Chain A
Amino acid sequence: MMTKMVLRRIAIGVATLVVVSVIVFVMTSILPGDVAQIILGQSATPETLAALRIELGMDKPGYIRYFQWLGNMATGDLGISKAGGATIESLISGRLGNTMVMSGLVAVISIPISIVLGLWAAMHPGALLDRAVTFGTLSLISVPEFFIATILVLILAVELHWLPSTAYLTGDETFAELLKALAMPLITLVIVVSAQMIRMTRAGILNVMSSPYIEMAILKGVPRRRIILRHAFFNAIGPIVNVIALNLAYLVSGVVVVETIFSYPGLAKLMIDGVQTRDLPLVQACAMIFCGAYVILILMADIASIMSNPRLRNPK
């Protein structure tokens, strides 16, 4: 039964990707603007424009271009940038690496912090620490990330001169330099994603804490720490994992603002540039990568919550 459910999830994930690819393709196709015009500039003659359009394959019907694009995409050929003529692969690879480093570091820092703080708050509901955590996370969720980033720049860079205000990478930093360069966007993102994960961990645990089997554990003389860690946590994993996955997916795609503020050369920033130059293949490739990241992360969360459910793991 579990294998069946996991396979079904994977199938749904693939189907989602296909649907999204159609949407991405159609949406970028109807975006206003003409790449040929942009490449050749205002002085181009109609003849050269037409020739370039044929060269770019823009004269063929939409569905053929879609399948060509999808096929190329699936085989790893992301196409050639319409602005500049470089392969999209070469444009993306460095940026993707940067984004992965950033999201990876944020995940490694924020997930343990969130779970520990969430559990801690749940262990002492109503205590000072719990109230501080609840109030703090709520405030942080309600504040937009550019505001947090700006405040951090103001304090850490402008006032204290501890950290650089931009995170521009040259590519040959030592690890220490890299960490220092990344520190500001890292802190900002950790704060933004942790707040939600802490709240969800706390809420998930407290929700389970009102179950009869928790009262039973109390009446068996089980210490509160063990009640939370052994009895409650495993029953709360499902929702917690889902929130973690959503936040990580957000990291991959939704950090445009943070990347812009700190001039960090990530994927999201590349996509914005692509939109500005009407570089449709680039925009499509980025969109598909973001969507793929979402689908994979949500899929992993779904599989994790299926695995954590003893009813599915051990059928009758």
Chain B
Amino acid sequence: MIFPQKLAVVLHLRWYKTMQREKLVEVKDLKIHAKNDDGDIIPIVKGVSFDIHKGEVVALIGESGSGKTTISLAALSYTKPGLFFAGGELLIDGEDMLQAEPLRTREIRGAKVAYLAQSAAATFNPAITIGEQVTESAVLHGILSQSEANKRATELYHALELPDPDRIGFRYPHQVSGGQLQRLMAAMALCGKPDLMVLDEPTTALDVTTQIEVLKAFKKVIQDENSAAIYVTHDLAVVAQIADYIIVLYGGEVMEQGTAAEIINNPSHVYTQRLMAAVRPKPQAGLGSSVADEHEREIPAVKATDITAGYGGIIDGEPKIPILRDINVSVKNGHVVGVIGESGCGKSTLARVMAGLLPQSRGTIELDNEELEGDLRNRNLEQLQKIQFVFQMADTALNPKQVIGDIIGRPLEFYHGLKGNARHAKVVEILEMVELPAEFASRYPMELSGGQKQRINMARSLAANPEVMLCDEVTSALDSIVGANVIKLLTTLRDKTGVSFVFISHDLSTVASFADEIVVLYAGRVVEQGPTDDVLTPPYHPYTRLLISSVPELRIGWLEDTMQKREMAVGIAKDVEITSVGCPFFNRCPMGIEGTCEKQTPPVHKTDTDHQIACHRSIEELNMVEFEVQEALEHKKADEAIV
């Protein structure tokens, strides 16, 4: 029980805080329903209430289906097709958005309330210059003249630390990187000086290093502009960096709300606690699994030696557009090998080469010590059966017109000749292995949830009874809790069947939580690889260090602390350059040696285990703790000054 006096003090403090800031948005018992094809009404948002004050960032947090995006779009008087406002009020400056006439909604959108979407790459019109899109809304609404808007846009580009801010507006969306587009979208939202910004998962699709740079820019402009914001996300660690106030949603209802500090440090609702538990811990040693010995064999299941691969014509073993260069990776039986790197680093290409979808231009792939043909058309049935691919999007990988029984049954028939009852019995057995009931055999993929579809996707590969499963970003499209369950299943399968997994991901925390070994790819090269614990403890490759530092922590103030670090100052907000000579990481490396790193291919250091680091710096130098790196940097700077 709380003492009455204490309660009074708490209430008074709340009241005081509220009075300091003017109320901008009042959501009262908001209800949004959906109508499906049969005409049934399904409640999506079931009476949600909260307030937003001027200059305040309010986070809506929850898994997919929690209604967070639907609520945030209501602030723009917008519903996705098939949804409608069923009750309640959403007042902005006292005006109800739910009742706004079509003409009025057009005045509100972009002027009073601005929207930032998840994927800037998809939300920028490819046929129109960035500048026109950024200024369009402000000019159309008559807030600014075209020349004023251009000026303001340029100021925003400067504030968002975009490269070449005076001319970036003349470029087309495909001419800038994903992280830059995401920041440009912030400029687009802010150009018309809105009172409220709605940010819908603006960093979810980004790599950690890009995410941190975008978060930093967002935080800065939100503070500078003193605009209020609704920040929609499923990622608590991100929320902790940017939100003042947090609302936890589940199934269209508010589970808990409070200040960021209250929720992060002292979550009271069970669901919030579950969300917190699903936040993956900082990648560190000791989380990866130790390998079960029973499946241990001398020879590796799959071994890639000196692989170079890419797209376009091949001349002298050199593809026109090289993606991978001199890759050596071996996958031991019953091991989980995590392949980690930013988008475009060649992770998926590596899996495609192993599967025979993209024949390598140089090097060899071996399966059980036997060399494989590069092209899968030349591989025999047994070789095909032993290497199976699990694609990222279960939605597109599963045939929507086939029932689950046929999807899983097909490889059983194709590889093992099972038919009729024998096939059905095996389908049920495999469904059991992926922890789904036998009735699913007669269902269509459409009837399943995202997590269930991903299980079927894996079951389909599993049905071939493979030796190696190549999993390409299989948890990336899933919510944290669902994703965690898929990972749990994956380790269970490994322990039960001895299948090896190549687990491709851009998310180091996920990989660190269960992989036996980690391969770090950068710009098509292996910069570091070895047992999980070795990769995640010093000595680090400088890129691994940058990756580890970039993973957000569930702690208020983490973003500011991290930005103080040296590797951040040097490594963030720079583009990946794919180079044919030297170390590709040179342009982002805090320890680069001018004259050596960009010209010579780095030597591979081996520590006593299988741990390898490709770097010009010695193991001792790589072992240095943070401040020593900084010191080395100071020296480097001083040296440069003398030169």
Give A residues with C-beta under 8 Å from B: 211-213, 215-223, 226, 230-231, 234-235, 308, 310-311, 314, 316
Question: Which residues of the partner chain B approach A310 to less than 8 Å between Cβ atoms?
Answer: 126-127, 172, 174
Closest to A308 in B: B127
Would B119 and A212 count as touching, CB distance under 8 A? yes
Contact status of A218 and B127, CB under 8 A, knowing A212-B119, A314-B175, A316-B174:
no
**Which size bracket describes the interface of B in this complex?**
20 to 34
Question: Which residues of the partner chain B approach A314 to less than 8 Å between Cβ atoms?
Answer: 171-172, 174-175
Q: Is B141 in the interface zone, CB < 8 Å from A?
A: yes
In the A-B complex, the 6 residue pairs with the closest CB atoms:
A221-B109, A221-B110, A220-B110, A234-B127, A212-B122, A220-B137
Would B140 and A222 count as touching, CB distance under 8 A? yes
Would A218 and B109 count as touching, CB distance under 8 A? yes
Offer 17 A-B interface pairs, CB within 8 angstroms, sorted by A: A211-B122, A212-B123, A213-B123, A216-B115, A216-B123, A217-B125, A218-B109, A219-B76, A220-B109, A221-B141, A222-B140, A308-B127, A310-B174, A311-B172, A311-B174, A314-B172, A316-B175
Q: Is B128 in the interface zone, CB < 8 Å from A?
A: yes
Q: Is B467 in the interface zone, CB < 8 Å from A?
A: no
Contact status of A231 and B125, CB under 8 A, knowing A219-B109, A220-B110, A220-B115:
yes
A186 to nearest B CB, angstroms? Answer: 34
Question: Which residues of the partner chain B approach A311 to less than 8 Å between Cβ atoms?
Answer: 126, 172, 174
Question: Which residues of the partner chain A approach B172 to less than 8 Å between Cβ atoms?
Answer: 310-311, 314
Question: Which residues of the partner chain A approach B109 to less than 8 Å between Cβ atoms?
Answer: 218-221
Q: Is B535 in the interface zone, CB < 8 Å from A?
A: no
B229 to nearest A CB, angstroms? Answer: 15
Contact status of A219 and B78, CB under 8 A, knowing A308-B127, A314-B172, A314-B175:
yes
Would A221 and B140 count as touching, CB distance under 8 A? yes
State which of B126, B136, B188 has its C-beta within 8 Å of the C-beta of A235.
B126
Closest to A210 in B: B81
User: Interface digits, B54-80 against A, CB 8 Å rule (1 contact, 0 not)?
Assistant: 000000000000000000010010100
State A308–B73 Cα separation when bound (angstroms): 33
Q: Is B269 in the interface zone, CB < 8 Å from A?
A: no
Would B115 and A235 count as touching, CB distance under 8 A? no
Question: Which residues of the partner chain B approach A212 to less than 8 Å between Cβ atoms?
Answer: 117, 119, 122-123
User: Interface digits, B358-395 against A, CB 8 Å rule (1 contact, 0 not)?
Assistant: 00000000000000000000000000000000000000
Would B110 and A234 count as touching, CB distance under 8 A? no
A213-B125, A316-B174, A316-B175 known, 18 other contacts, Cβ within 8 Å: A212-B117, A213-B122, A213-B126, A215-B117, A216-B117, A216-B124, A218-B78, A220-B137, A220-B140, A220-B188, A221-B105, A221-B140, A222-B140, A230-B128, A231-B125, A308-B127, A310-B127, A311-B174
State A216–B115 Cα separation when bound (angstroms): 8
State A223–B110 Cα separation when bound (angstroms): 12
State A223–B136 Cα separation when bound (angstroms): 11
Would B125 and A235 count as touching, CB distance under 8 A? yes
User: Interface digits, B123-148 against A, CB 8 Å rule (1 contact, 0 not)?
Assistant: 11111100000001100110000000
Question: Which residues of the partner chain B approach A231 to less than 8 Å between Cβ atoms?
Answer: 125, 127-128
Would A219 and B110 count as touching, CB distance under 8 A? yes
Closest to A314 in B: B172
State which of A211, A213, A223, A308 has its C-beta within 8 Å of the C-beta of B106.
A223
B377 to nearest A CB, angstroms? Answer: 28
Residue picked from B119, B137, B171, most chain A C-beta under 10 Å:
B137
State A234–B76 Cα separation when bound (angstroms): 27
Question: Which residues of the partner chain A approach B105 to less than 8 Å between Cβ atoms?
Answer: 221
Q: Is B107 in the interface zone, CB < 8 Å from A?
A: yes
Would B174 and A213 count as touching, CB distance under 8 A? no
Would B111 and A221 count as touching, CB distance under 8 A? yes
B581 to nearest A CB, angstroms? Answer: 22
Q: Is B205 in the interface zone, CB < 8 Å from A?
A: no
State A231–B127 Cα separation when bound (angstroms): 8
B76 to nearest A CB, angstroms? Answer: 6
State A218–B76 Cα separation when bound (angstroms): 10
Closest to B174 in A: A311
Closest to B129 in A: A310
State A211–B127 Cα separation when bound (angstroms): 13
Q: Is B108 in the interface zone, CB < 8 Å from A?
A: yes
Would B123 and A221 count as touching, CB distance under 8 A? no
Would B106 and A221 count as touching, CB distance under 8 A? yes
Question: Which residues of the partner chain A approach B123 to less than 8 Å between Cβ atoms?
Answer: 212-213, 215-216
State A179–B122 Cα separation when bound (angstroms): 49
